[in-house]
Structure 1
Amino acid sequence: MPLGNIPEDIYVPLVYIDIDNSGALTGTPTLVNKVLIIGQQLASGTATALDTRRIGTSEADMDNAYGKGSMLAKMLKRFRKINPSTDMYALGVADLTGSAATATITVTVGTASAGIVALLIDGVSMQVAVKAGDDATVIATSIVAAVTAKTDLPITASAAAGVVTLTCKWKGETGNDIDVRYNYYDGELLAKGVTVTTTAMTGGAGTPDISAIVAAIPDEWYNHIVIPYSDTQSLNGLRDELVDRYGPLKMMEGTAYTAMRGTFSETSTWGEGRNDYLITCMGTNKSPSSPWDFAAAYGARASYSLAIDPARPLQTLVLTGILPPAKTDRWDWTERNLLLQSGVATYMVTAGDEVAIEREVSTYKVNSYGDPDPSYLDITTPATLGYLRYSLKAMVTNRFPRHKLAGDDVLDFIDPGQPIVTPKIMRNAIIEQARIDWVPKGLMEDMEGFKASLSVYRDESNKNRLNCVWKPDIVNQLRVFAALTQFKL
């Protein structure tokens, strides 16, 4: 009888030993996660727009590739500071058709005393020195110098007659989300005799050609995608791509992370307009940090944690470097609860004034009939299901790569070395995978129920096809602990 790859018609002595690795693996091979970060680049960058390149740890390389002060360079730096290990790729978007956002800082002076103007632009702090007797023109010029020295800022500055004009380095409506303020930190005060008035960034117009971006994404598995855009057209295009990749033919599931800046009303309205189980959006409120910075930090923390355990909740994980809104602007419990119901992920502010994930919900809320459907409420659900699918696929391709298919009736007659799989053999292999991998890793519960419901059978129309219906009861997360205290006197 044939044995492995050893033919029967061998006459030359003596020993021939084949090696078969199909039974070598137990558990699941490590899934190496990859993340794709999409963002706008500047003309000063050397990277070709819509080309994907692997990113290391050098911030100088990020600046050289996408332009110092560019949206994408800042996203890459933020991601890498939080997540130093995940394999990271970048896809740069060239400047858009449209207009760049602008804002003004107007300085008025009575009689200036020595002191400072403590500015915070895009979450970056700078202290502008004021000398006694400085007039508005001098102080405005000093502000321009301070802004220009911060080359990582996404804006340029110019001054005339005591008015500083800030201009976003790129076109598009995203520039409207750059925050400009002063006296953010406790204890910061303007120099006596100096008044500063700021306006919000405005006038930015233009959204990207999402079809070109999606077409440029390589046909490779990116487990996580960070995108700075939250407009309807961009998210619709990315949604369609993610759903296609998630399907059974490609099996390249991935979650997209974005962020949206706005008031409670604007953010909740935005959330009610989306219903995507593979997209999660963090509402930033009036944070000094930009939405693309938020998205990069959120994606970095989530991708790092979910690679370790896709079922473990992300609540309390800190988004390092992200600044919270002023205390008077922060959403209260009721507002955050309503936003979660609208499909907007929320954060909390720790006692140390750190921004931490509160709940990582997707925007999915209702089924195709518009009825409530919590099945994909949290992004841990598709993350867990994605791992289980990968694990099952890896088991089948490793253990049964070139096997013949037969009915269970041959089990008592086939030789042990025969590469034959039957429904019973496959069923036992799946049960073993659950027992040694899925349950011990805390990804699945109710092992007995899983065994009872598992069905593996040959297709009636195609005898070369083995069908499987499996119903893993995936673990849940401790989101709420409720207790009723009934005391006695």
Structure 2
Amino acid sequence: MALGSIPNDIKVPLVYIEIDNSNALSGTPALAQKVLVIGQQLSTGSATALTLNRITNSDSQMDALYGYGSMMSRMLKAFRQSNDYTDVYALGVADLDAGTAAKGEITVAAASAKAGVIALLIAGESVQVGVNDADTTATIATAVIAKINANKNLPVTAALKAATTETVELTCKWKGSTGNDIDVRYNYYDGEVLPTGVTLTLVDMAGGAGTPDMDAVIAAVPNEWYNHIVMPYNDTQSLNTLRDELVTRWGPLKMIEGIAYTAFRGTFAETGAFGVARNDYLFTCMGTNKAPHSPFEFAAAYAGQASYSLGIDPARPLQTLVMTGLLPPAKELQWDMTERNLLLGDGIATYMVTPGGEVAIEREVSMYRENAFGDPDPSYLDITTPATLGYLRYSLRTMVTNRFPRHKLANDDVLNRLDPGQPVVTPKVMRNAMLELANNDWVPKGLMEDFDGFKTTLNVYRDSSDQNRLNCVFNPNIVNQFRIFAALMQFKL
């Protein structure tokens, strides 16, 4: 009988030794994390639309590829602030042929102005405008325009509104509804005040319309594994298109699952309504409230922190992890515990504001709430669940393809009669291999509990219709997260 791939009838002396790596691995190789960021680019960038580019930690690379102040550049920078390690690929979307750019206004009024500083905050970035004694409204408006346009990283440009000398018109650098979520305010930080005699009247960014052809975007995504996808568009059509792609990737024929991160800006009521309108187990949406940073930057920062942490341990909760660089809403607008608890029930992930004013993940729930019959279903409540299941599937697939790549299949009765080294797998051999994987990898890594129950219910058998097929039914009890500690103190006097 031949051994390995050494022929039986070889006659030339002397020694032939084949090396077989099928038993070399004692654990699961590290699952390489890849992130896909989708976002609009500007024509001033050098990137070809709907073409992947691998992103380093260079801000200049992001700006050169996608344009200064572009949605994509700002998203990538927000991601890298929270995660400068994970492998990131950007898929830029060209500006819309149809659609309109969002606009906003800053109207200046001045009466005997005194010297001081106007502290604007646009998309979370500070814009300081100096005012001199007795400056007129026209002079101040001109200074505001100059300061805004000097900061090329801002997502807006500024110009005098037609037929006025005191109104600064802000225009988003790209077309589409996402521009409506760009925040403009003043006196955000403690101690900031307008110069005496100067007042500002703001009109929020609005009027942006249009979304990209998400079918074309999805068609441009390679058939490769992206564990995390940053999604800046939260309109129904775009989300449905990506949802369908994610469900296909999650399925048993592709097994390249990914979790999508998006965000929604609005009031408590608007955010809750948005959440209950969805039911997606592979989406997690952060409710931003009226925070200074745009939702697409929130989504990127959220994905940055989540992808780094889940890449280390897919079952460990993300609570308390800071999304670096994001600013919280004004204190009087921040949601209280009751509101955040209700939003979590609506399928909206929440953040908390630390004593230092940092924005930290509070709970990373998915948008899945109900089964196909509309009944409550918490099976995919947190995104740690699909992340953990994805790792278990990856490790099982890797074990099978590494250990049994070209094996024959037989019943267990041949085990004691096989020549040593025979590449034969049986139900018992596969079952033992899975128990070894669970005992040596899943349980020690804190991904599965109740090994005895897993062992009892593990069923590996040959298919009755196809003798070349080995079937398996297994029931891993994945670990949960320490979310709540409840205690009753019954004291005595």
TM (normalized to structure 1)? 0.99
- Residue 81 of structure 1 deviates from its aligned partner by 2.2
Q: Quick one: which amino acid aligns to residue 112 of structure 1?
A: A
Structure 2 residue aligned with 1:462 = 466
2:245 is aligned, of 232, 241, 244, to: 241
Structure 2 residue aligned with 1:112 = 113
Structure 1 residue aligned with 2:202 = 198
Structure 1 residue aligned with 2:267 = 263
Structure 2 residue aligned with 1:90 = 90
Give a deviation string over 1:374-413, Cα, whole Å, max 9, x none.
0000000000000000000000000000000000000110
Distance 2:347 2:385 in 1: 15
| Counterparts of residues 324-473 of structure 1 (less than 5 Å) | 324-473=328-477
Distance 1:446 1:271 in 2: 34
Q: Quick one: which amino acid aligns to residue 145 of structure 1?
A: A
Structure 1 residue aligned with 2:127 = 126
Q: 2:205 aligns to what SS in structure 1? A: coil
Q: 1:199 aligns to what SS in structure 2? A: strand
Q: 2:142 aligns to what SS in structure 1? A: helix
Distance 1:114 1:171 in 2: 37
Q: Quick one: which amino acid aligns to residue 375 of structure 1?
A: S
Q: 2:91 aligns to what SS in structure 1? A: strand
| Large movers: runs of 4+ above 6 Å | none
Q: 2:422 aligns to what SS in structure 1? A: coil
- Residue 54 of structure 1 deviates from its aligned partner by 1.2
Q: CA RMSD in A?
A: 0.7
Distance 1:377 1:387 in 2: 17
Structure 2 residue aligned with 1:145 = 146
Distance 1:234 1:298 in 2: 19
Structure 2 residue aligned with 1:167 = 171
- Residue 16 of structure 1 deviates from its aligned partner by 1.1
Distance 2:400 2:360 in 1: 39
- Residue 43 of structure 1 deviates from its aligned partner by 1.0
Q: 2:37 aligns to what SS in structure 1? A: strand
Structure 1, 217-226 or 203-212: larger mean CA deviation = 203-212
Give a deviation string over 1:172-225, Cα, whole Å, max 9, x none.
111000000000000000000111111100111111211111111111000000
- Residue 127 of structure 1 deviates from its aligned partner by 1.2
1:224 is aligned, of 208, 228, 237, to: 228
Give a deviation string over 1:125-174, Cα, whole Å, max 9, x none.
12111100101011111111110111000000012411111000011111
Structure 1, 116-125 or 154-163: larger mean CA deviation = 154-163
Residue 272 in structure 1 maps to residue 276 in structure 2: yes
Distance 2:270 2:79 in 1: 27
Distance 1:293 1:10 in 2: 66
Distance 1:249 1:342 in 2: 31
Residue 103 in structure 1 maps to residue 107 in structure 2: no
Q: 2:48 aligns to what SS in structure 1? A: coil
- Residue 8 of structure 1 deviates from its aligned partner by 1.2
Structure 1 residue aligned with 2:57 = 57
Distance 2:358 2:58 in 1: 26
- Residue 332 of structure 1 deviates from its aligned partner by 0.7
Percent identity over the alignment?
A: 68
Distance 2:66 2:359 in 1: 27
Structure 2 residue aligned with 1:250 = 254
Distance 1:199 1:484 in 2: 51
Distance 2:423 2:365 in 1: 45
Q: 1:372 aligns to what SS in structure 2? A: coil
Structure 1, 45-54 or 277-286: larger mean CA deviation = 45-54
Structure 2 residue aligned with 1:12 = 12
Distance 1:20 1:194 in 2: 79
List alignment gaps of at least 5 residues for structure 2. none
Q: Quick one: which amino acid aligns to residue 11 of structure 2?
A: Y
Distance 2:301 2:250 in 1: 24
Give a deviation string over 1:323-366, Cα, whole Å, max 9, x none.
00000110111110000000000000000000000000000000
- Residue 484 of structure 1 deviates from its aligned partner by 0.7
Q: 2:57 aligns to what SS in structure 1? A: coil
Q: 1:192 aligns to what SS in structure 2? A: coil
